[in-house]
C-alpha cells in the first residue's frame, strides 16, 4: 500500500517566521506540498508509532492538503493522526491538542491573517512536541532537505471522511476525527471565571465579536454564546469560509473597520473584539477606545491575577522587540522578569518551557500565555472579559487608569506592503550602514541616543539570532524600528514601528498619529522611504 514517488526539489521552500506561505497556485504545483511535508518528516526522528495532530483554518485548499498530509503520515510510520472535524483546528487549539495528547508534533495548514481563495494564500507550519512552532534550527534543516529531496512516501487510499467524528484506519495508522472545539473550550473554562463572565452577560453587558468568516467562528459561538450566555449573534461572521467571504481576515483597523466604526458610534456595545484567519490574533476595542496590541499586553499582564488560572501571579513577561515597552513597566513594578525577543512566536517557547515567562505578546495582535505554545486570540478576549467582570469598569476606565499609573506609550506600525524586494533589501542595507553615525544626530526635537541591529541570545539554550531589525533609540524613551516582514507571500513588506513614551497624564489624550508626527518625519529622513520604495504613504497603519 505504501508508494515511494520520485520527485524533484523546488528552490523556494524556505519557511518564514510562521512556516511556508505561498499563493495557492504555487502549492498546487506537482508534488509541491508532498516535497515540503516529506522534508519535515525527513528532518525529525523517532516518530514511528507516535501521534501527529493535523488541522487548519478552513481556507481554500485546506481539505486537499490535509488528505495529502494524512496519507504521507501513514506511509512514514506515524501510529495515529488527530484531525479536526471538517479539517478545522485553530492554531492555539492545535497547540493544546499536541500538548494534551503528548503528540510528537503537528502540521497546521494556514496562512494566518492573509487572504484566502483559489488565488489567495496558503501555508504549512510544523509544530513540535511542546505545541510550539518549530525552532530555527529545525526550519533550517527542513529547508536544506527540501533543496535535495528526490522522493516522498504516501499510501494509495480513498480520502478520509473529515466531516464525521469518529475513528478509522488509513493503512496501518489510526485516524481520529474529533470535535475541534471541545478540548479547547474545556481549557478556557479551567483558566477563567466563567461564572463571573456569565453574570456579566446576564446583567446586560453587550459584546460584538467578529470572527471574520475564519476559524474562530465555531469556537466563539460555543464559548461566548452557549457556555457564557452571550446573546445569539454576539459572534458575527461566524461560519468559516474558504475565501473568508472575500475579505482579509486580519483583525486590524483597516480590515475590521466595520467593527471599529460600530464601537466608535452611539450604538456601540460595551466591548468589541475580533480574531484572524487561524485564531491566534486578536483585536480589542472598548466603547470609544481602541486598545493597541502593545497596550493590551501590558493591561492583561497588570490584571491577569484576577483570573483563576493566573491568581498566583506571573513568572515573567515576554514581548517581541518591535512591541512597545508598555509591558516593561508592568514587569518592573511587579518585580518579575521581562524578556525582549525577535519577532516570531517560536522565540517564546523556550522561555515558557523554562518557567521564565507566563504571558507573551507581539505588537502584531498576538497575545498568549503558558497554557499553550502559540498566541491565542480568543484567550485574550476571554481574559479581557474576566478582567471586565472582576473590576466592574469599562475598557476606557481600565485604559485611562493604567496610563495614569504607568505612563502611556503612543505607538503605531506603518506597513509598506508588496514593495520591490530588491529595493527593500537596499533600504535595510543602507540603514545598517548608517548605524554608527546616527547617535548624537538630531531630527527635529528628537536626539538619537543609540542605534543598533537587534540581536538576541536565548537565555535558555544560548542560541543567537542576529539581524532582527534596526532600532533607533531617542532620548526620553522614544524609538523607531525598521524591519522586513516574514509573513507575506509576494514582494516585500517594510514595517516601521513608532513609539513615543509620555509620562504626563495631562498629555494622554492626544491623537496617536499627531503624537508620533515627529517620529514619522524622522523615519522618512533616516530611511529615505519615499525615494527608495516609491511610496509616499504606508499601505496600512495600525
From the list 393, 410, 378, 123, the residue with the least C-alpha distance to 251 is 378
Residue 43 appears among annotated catalytic residues: no
In the block, residue with C-alpha cell 457564557? 228
Eight-class DSSP state of 151: E
227: phi > 0 → left, psi -120 to 50 → alpha, else beta; which? alpha
- The Cα-based distances of 499 to 38, 196, 292, 409 in angstroms read 43, 36, 12, 6
Q: DSSP string of 398-459?
A: HHHHHHHHH-EEEEEEEEEEEE-HHHHHHHHHHHHHHGGG-TT-EETTEEEEEEEE--EE-T
Beta 316-320 vs 359-362: how paired, if at all?
A: parallel
Instruction: Using the Cα atoms of residue 248, residue 275, residue 418 and residue 480 in order, give the sign of their dihedral.
Output: positive
The answer to whether 1 touches 102, Cβ cutoff 8 Å, is no
For residue 444, the tally of other CB atoms under 10 A from its CB is: 11
DSSP character at residue 14: -
- Strand partners for 456: 465
30 φ, ψ (degrees, to nearest 5): -55, 120
**Rounded Cα–Cα distance for residues 31 and 240 (Å):** 27
C-alpha separations of 473 from 435, 454, 470, 530 in Å: 11, 12, 10, 22
* Of 276, 296, 257, 281, residue with least CA distance to 217: 276
442, β-bridge pairs: 447
**Catalytic member of 112, 294, 320, 478:** 112
- The C-alpha atoms of residue 159 and residue 83 are separated, in whole angstroms, by 13
Q: Which residues are registered as beta bridge partners of 480?
A: 472, 498
Is residue 98 within a helix (H) or strand (E), and if so which, with residue range? helix 91-100
Separation of CA 502 from chain center: 28
- Could you identify the residue written with the cell 523607531? 480
CA angle, residues 147, 110, 67, in degrees to nearest 5: 75
Cell output for 206: 453587550
Q: How many Cα atoms are found within 13 Å in the side-chain-facing hemisphere of 86?
A: 16
416 Cβ neighbours under 8 A, 6+ residues apart: 493, 494, 495, 496, 529, 533, 535, 538, 539
**Residues designated catalytic:** 112
Amino acid at each position: 500500500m505504501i508508494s515511494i514517488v520520485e520527485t524533484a526539489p523546488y528552490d523556494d521552500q524556505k519557511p518564514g517566521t510562521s512556516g511556508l506561505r505561498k499563493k495557492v497556485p504555487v502549492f498546487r504545483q506537482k508534488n509541491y506540498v508532498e516535497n515540503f511535508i516529506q522534508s519535515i518528516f525527513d528532518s525529525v526522528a523517532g516518530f514511528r508509532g507516535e501521534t501527529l495532530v493535523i488541522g487548519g483554518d478552513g481556507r481554500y485548499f485546506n481539505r486537499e492538503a490535509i488528505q495529502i498530509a494524512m496519507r504521507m503520515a501513514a506511509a512514514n510510520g506515524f501510529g495515529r493522526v488527530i484531525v479536526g472535524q471538517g479539517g478545522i483546528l485553530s492554531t492555539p487549539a492545535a497547540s493544546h491538542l499536541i500538548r494534551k495528547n503528548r503528540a510528537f508534533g503537528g502540521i497546521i495548514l494556514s496562512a494566518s491573517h492573509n487572504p484566502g481563495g483559489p488565488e489567495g494564500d496558503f501555508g504549512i507550519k510544523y509544530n513540535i512536541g511542546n505545541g510550539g512552532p518549530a525552532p530555527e534550527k529545525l526550519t533550517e534543516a527542513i529547508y536544506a532537505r527540501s533543496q535535495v529531496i528526490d522522493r516522498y512516501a504516501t499510501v494509495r487510499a480513498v480520502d478520509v471522511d473529515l466531516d464525521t467524528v469518529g475513528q478509522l484506519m488509513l493503512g496501518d495508522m489510526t485516524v481520529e476525527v474529533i470535535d475541534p472545539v471541545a478540548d479547547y473550550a474545556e481549557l478556557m473554562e479551567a483558566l477563567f471565571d466563567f461564572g463571573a463572565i456569565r453574570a456579566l452577560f446576564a446583567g446586560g453587558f453587550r459584546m460584538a465579536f467578529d470572527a471574520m468568516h475564519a476559524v474562530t467562528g465555531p469556537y466563539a459561538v460555543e464559548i461566548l454564546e452557549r457556555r457564557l450566555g452571550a446573546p445569539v449573534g454576539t459572534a458575527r461572521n461566524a461560519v468559516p469560509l474558504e475565501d473568508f467571504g472575500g475579505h482579509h481576515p486580519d483583525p486590524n483597523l483597516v480590515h475590521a473597520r466595520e467593527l471599529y466604526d460600530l464601537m466608535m458610534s452611539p450604538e456601540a456595545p460595551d466591548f468589541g473584539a475580533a480574531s484572524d484567519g487561524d485564531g491566534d490574533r486578536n483585536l480589542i476595542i472598548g466603547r470609544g477606545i481602541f486598545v493597541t496590541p502593545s497596550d493590551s499586553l501590558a493591561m492583561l499582564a497588570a490584571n491577569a491575577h484576577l483570573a483563576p488560572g493566573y491568581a498566583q501571579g506571573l513568572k515573567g513577561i515576554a514581548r517581541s522587540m518591535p512591541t512597545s515597552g508598555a509591558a516593561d513597566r508592568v514587569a518592573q513594578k511587579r518585580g518579575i522578569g521581562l524578556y525582549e525577543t525577535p519577532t516570531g512566536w517560536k522565540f517564546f517557547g523556550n522561555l515558557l518551557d523554562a518557567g521564565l515567562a507566563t504571558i507573551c505578546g507581539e505588537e502584531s495582535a498576538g497575545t498568549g500565555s503558558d497554557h499553550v505554545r502559540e498566541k491565542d486570540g480568543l484567550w485574550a478576549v476571554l481574559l479581557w472579559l474576566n478582567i471586565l467582570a472582576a473590576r466592574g469598569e469599562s475598557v476606557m476606565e481600565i485604559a485611562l487608569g493604567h496610563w495614569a499609573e504607568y505612563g502611556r506609550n503612543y505607538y503605531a506600525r506603518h506597513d509598506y506592503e508588496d514593495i520591490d524586494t530588491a529595493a527593500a533589501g537596499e533600504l535595510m542595507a543602507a540603514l545598517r550602514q548608517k548605524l554608527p553615525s546616527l547617535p548624537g544626530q538630531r531630527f527635529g526635537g528628537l536626539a538619537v541616543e543609540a542605534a543598533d541591529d537587534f540581536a538576541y541570545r536565548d537565555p535558555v539554550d544560548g542560541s543567537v539570532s542576529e539581524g532582527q531589525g534596526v532600532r533607533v533609540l531617542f532620548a526620553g524613551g522614544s524609538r523607531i524600528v525598521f524591519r522586513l516582514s516574514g509573513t507575506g507571500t509576494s514582494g516585500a513588506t517594510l514595517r516601521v514601528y513608532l513609539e513615543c513614551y509620555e509620562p504626563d497624564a495631562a498629555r494622554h489624550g492626544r491623537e496617536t498619529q499627531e503624537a508620533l508626527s515627529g517620529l514619522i518625519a524622522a523615519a522618512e529622513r533616516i530611511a529615505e522611504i519615499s525615494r527608495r520604495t516609491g511610496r509616499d504613504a504606508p499601505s496600512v497603519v495600525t
